[in-house]
Amino acid sequence: MVKQTKPPVAVTPDLCLSTPAPVAGKRVYAFSEGRAEMRELLGGKGANVAEMARLGIPVPPGFVITTETCRDFNTLGQRFPADLQLQVDKALAALEAQSGRKLGDAEDPLLVSVRSGAAISMPGMMDTVLNLGLNDRAVAGLARKSGDVRFAWDAYRRFIQMFGDVVLGIDHALFEEALAEARAERGVAEDTGLTPVDLTRLVDRYKLIVRQATGAEFPQEPEVQLMKAIRAVFMSWESQRARTYRRIEGITGLAGTAVTIQAMVFGNRAGESGTGVVFSRNPVTGERELYGEFLANAQGEDVVAGIRTPEPVAVLKERMPGLYDELTALSDKLEAHYRDMQDIEFTIEQGKLFLLQTRGGKRSARAAVRIATDLVAEGVLTREEALLRVDAMSLDQLLHPTIAPDAKRTVLARGLPASPGAAAGAVVFCADAAEAAAARGDKVILVRRETSPEDVHGMHAAQGVLTATGGMTSHAAVVARGMGKCCVTGAGTLIINEAAETITAPDGTVVKAGDLITLDGGTGEVMLGAVETVLPELGEDVRQLLAWADAVREMKVRANADTPEDAARARDFGAEGIGLCRTEHMFFAPERIRAMREMILAEDEAGRIAALDRLLPYQRADFAGILKEMAGLPVTIRLLDPPLHEFLPQGEGAIAELAGDLKVPVERLKDRLHALHEANPMMGHRGCRLMITYPEIARMQARAITEAASQLAAEGVETAVEVMVPLVGLEGEFNALADVVRDEAAKVEAETGHTLAIKVGTMIELPRACLRAGEIAASAEFFSFGTNDLTQFTFGFSRDDAGKFVPAYRERGLLAHDPFASLDTDGVGDLVAIGVARGRAKRAGLKTGICGEHGGDPASIAFCHGAGLDYVSCSPYRVPVARLAAAQASLKAPRTVLAAAAE
C-alpha cells in the first residue's frame, strides 16, 4: 500500500448543499472587479493581479474566491457555503467565454491554476495546483491544438503530481522517485530530456501511484477537480506549516486565504518559453537592479520549489533581449505604482510575456533600509513614510555575525548567497530534529536537498539553512530572508543523502549528522567546522534611518548593560543611558566570588562587613567604568536582587571543593545551603527583602556607587546616577533602603566634598506596587517597570517553566503571543498604566521607564509610548530596534493626539 501523508480531499454530493453560509453576498470576483485596495477581501495575490489587469499589464484572465469564504468554510466544519458552487460556475463560464475555451474540453481545453493568497504574504505556506482541467481526453486535445505532444504530456504529469500531493495527500517523494526512474531509464539528467513516449509512460506510473494510495482512479471530471482543489487550498490555511508561519511572523486577525483561479499560460512549451521570478531591486542588498532568476522550458513551481536550479535573469538579456526590456519596463512601472520594491512572477509562452503575480518583495533588513532611504532620495517617499516601511524588529538582523576576515576556513562547496549573515552549528537533516535541538539549547544547521513549507518550523529553530538545489528565489531563500536566517541554496556540488544523514563534498569529505559546519550567507560558502565570526557595524544608510527616527520619537531609549564594554556598545548603537545595570553579575568573577561566598557563610554582621569590604573596591571600579563610558547620560544601577543560594555551588563535588577552599567543614556548608533553600525562590528572600535583613549589603553598594561618581567628579567627568531598589511591594520597604542609600551617599559626599545629586527610585515588578504606586512615589524619585517579573507575578507563570505550556496555549488561541516576549497589554499593561497614573498623581513629572526583554519588542514599545513612559531599556543589540519602534509609535499615534483623545 502506498503511504498517504495528508488527508485526501473528498467531494461528496452534499458538499455544497444545505447549511447556509453565515455571511451571504458576493463570494467570487472577476479580475475586472478587483483593485489593490481589496487585499483583505481578495488576498494580496488576487488584489494585485486584479490591479495589474486594471493597469493594462498582460495578465491571464481569471477570478478570485474571497477570504471571507475561507472563513465561512472553516466555520462550517470545512464544508463549502451553500451559495459558492453557483457563483464559481458562473465565474468559470465567464472565463471560458473570455478565453474561447472550455475547462477540460477534448478539442481545445482551458486549463487553470488554483492558487492561495492571504491578505499578508505567506510565501509557500499554502497550496497551489497548476494545469487543472487535464484528463485522458483533454491531454490529446491539448497535444493536437498546440502541435506539441511532449508539452501536453509534460503538463499532464505535472498536474497529476501536484494534484496528488496537494489534494489527495500522497507523499510527493513517490512521484519524484518515479520521475527519477524515468530519467535514469532514458539516461538523461533533466526532465527536459524525456521524450513524449517517456512522459506517457510516466503518466501511467503516476496514475498507478494514485490508485494504490487512494483506492480510486485519478479524477477525470474537470469540475470535480476544480472543487477539490479549491477545498484543498482552503484547508491549507489551517495546515500546521501555515499556522506555524503565522505564529512565527505574528500574523493574526485574518479571515483566511483567498483562492485565485486563473487561465494557465505555459512556460514549458517549445521555443521561447520559460518562467521566472524577479525583484525590481536586489532583495539582499537593496541595490537598484532587476534581480531574479529564469528557468527555460519550465513552470513557476519549478523555480519557487527549488526543484531545478535556475539561471540569473540576466540570461534573458542575451537570449530574448526584447522580452528582457519589456520585463524591465513592467517591473519599473509596478514599482512606481506601488511605491515599493516588487516581487514579480512571470511566464513566457512562445515569445509572449505574462505577469502572474506582484507583491511587495520580502527583503533582508539591510535591503529594507537601503530601499527605504533610496526611495526618499529619489523623491518617492517622505522620511516619515520610509520609517514606517522598515520592520523595526528586522533591524536585529543587521547585527548578525559575519565571517572574520582572517579566519581560517576549509571550504567544502559554494552555493548561492541566499540570505546574509554567518551561522555555525551541528548538521541536522530534518525540521523536527532542528526544532528538538533548539529546544535543548543546541545550535544547528538545517540541511535539505530542498526545503518545503513543511520545514518552516525547523528553519525557524536553526541557525542557518543549506540546500543542494534551488535558487535565490526558492522557498528556502525567501523564507530564510524573511526570518533573518543565514541561508545558502543551490550548493549542487554537495551530495546530500537525507536517508543516510550525510553530506559528501566534491573532494570526498563526508559530513555526518552532528558534525559542525559554517555557512556564509554573503558568499555562499559552506565550510567545515565552526569558523570564527565577528559582529558587523551599522552602515551609513542604517544610521541615516535611525537619525530620522530620533528626530520624531517621543520616548528615550536606554540599554541594559552590566560592564563598561556593554555600555560602550550600547552608546555606539545610540543608547541614551542605561536603564538597568544588574550588580549581581559582577560578583561571579573568580577573584570576587570567594569574598561573596565568605559573606554568605559569615556567622555575624562583622564577618559579613569584612567580606563586603573586600568586594567594595571591585564594585567601585565596575561602576566607575560604566559611568565613565556613559559620560553624563543617566545610569540606573539596581541593588542586589537574586537570592543568596545562587552564589553557592549545588553539586556534591563542587560543595566539597568550596569547603576545602574556604577551610570550612563540608557539613557546615551543607547546613548553610539547607538554610538558604526556598520552595519558591523567585517569591522568596531576594531583592529588597534580602537587604532589609542584611542592610550592610545595600550600604556597601551605595558607598561603591557614590565613591565611583565622586572619583569621576574629581576627574571632571559628569555623571547622572540613579540607584534602584528591587522588588518593592510596600512603601516601608522602599523607605528603609532609600534611607540607607541616601545616608551612605551623604557620608561619601561629606568625605569627598563632591555633591552628586544621586536619585533613588524603585523597580516596579509586583502587582501590589502598581496598585500602591502613589504611596511609593511619595519618596521614590523614579519608577522602572520590571515587566519580566511583573508578568510572572501577574499571570502566576514561572518564566523558567512557562515554555512547557505556553506553546499549547498559543496553539489553542488562549494566548496571542508569549507574554514574556511581548507584553500582555490587557493585564500586565493595565497594571503598568495604573502604576504610572497613581505615581504621577502623587509626584508630578515622575520619570517612568521599562526594562527587561519587553523593552526591545516593538509591540511592547508601542504600548509604552501610549502609556506615557519616558523611556524603554533593552539589550544593547536591541537599541536600534527600539529607536525605530519608538519613532513608528510616535508617527502612528503622536502623544498630542493621544492626549486630546483622552480629554
CA angle 276, 364, 541 (to 5 degrees): 125
- Separation of first and last alpha carbons in the chain: 71
430 is an active site residue: no
Sheet arrangement for strand 510-512: 495-497, 502-504, 510-512
Residues 6+ apart with CB under 8 A from 669: 601, 648, 655, 658, 659, 662
The whole-angstrom separation of Cα 508 and Cα 498 is 17
Residues 6+ apart with CB under 8 A from 612: 595, 599, 696, 697, 700
All three cell numbers of 356, joined, read 502572474
Burial class (CB in 10 A: 0-12, 13-18, 19+), 758: buried
At position 568, the amino acid (one-letter code) is A
Q: At 351, is the secondary structure helix, strand, or coil?
A: coil
Q: How many CA atoms lie within 13 A of 87 on its CB side?
A: 19
- Tell me if 41 sits within 8 A of 67, measured CB to CB: yes
The whole-angstrom separation of Cα 706 and Cα 695 is 16
754 is an active site residue: no
b/e 228-238 (16+ beta carbons within 10 angstroms → b): bbbbbbbbbbe
All three cell numbers of 801, joined, read 517553566
Of residues 521, 510, 497, the one with CA closest to residue 424: 521
Helix (H) or strand (E) holding 464: strand 464-467
Of residues 341, 291, 360, 372, the one with CA closest to residue 539: 372
- Tell me if 161 sits within 8 A of 206, measured CB to CB: yes
CB neighbours of residue 77 within 10 Å: 7
The whole-angstrom separation of Cα 374 and Cα 363 is 15
Bridge partners of residue 847, in order along the sequence: 782
- Tell me if 851 sits within 8 A of 579, measured CB to CB: yes
CB neighbours of residue 742 within 10 Å: 16
Q: At 837, is the secondary structure helix, strand, or coil?
A: helix
Of residues 275, 358, 268, the one with CA closest to residue 316: 275
| Greatest CA separation for the chain | 102
Burial class (CB in 10 A: 0-12, 13-18, 19+), 897: exposed
Check residue 6 and report its DSSP letter.
S
Q: Which of 851, 854, 864, 874 is catalytic?
A: 851
The whole-angstrom separation of Cα 575 and Cα 875 is 10
SS3 content of the chain, % helix, strand, coil (to 5): 50, 15, 35
The whole-angstrom separation of Cα 629 and Cα 350 is 66
All three cell numbers of 654, joined, read 563542587
The per-residue DSSP string of 671-731 comes to: HHHHHH--SSGGGSS-THHHHHH-HHHHHHHHHHHHHHHHHHHHTT---EEEEEE-S--SH
User: At 595, phi and psi to the nearest 5?
Assistant: -65, -40
User: At 554, phi and psi to the nearest 5?
Assistant: -110, -10
Of residues 344, 215, 259, the one with CA closest to residue 84: 259
Q: Which of 457, 460, 475, 854 is catalytic?
A: 475
The whole-angstrom separation of Cα 550 and Cα 547 is 5
Q: At 57, is the secondary structure helix, strand, or coil?
A: coil
Q: Which residue has the cell 529607536?
A: 883
Active site residues: 475, 851
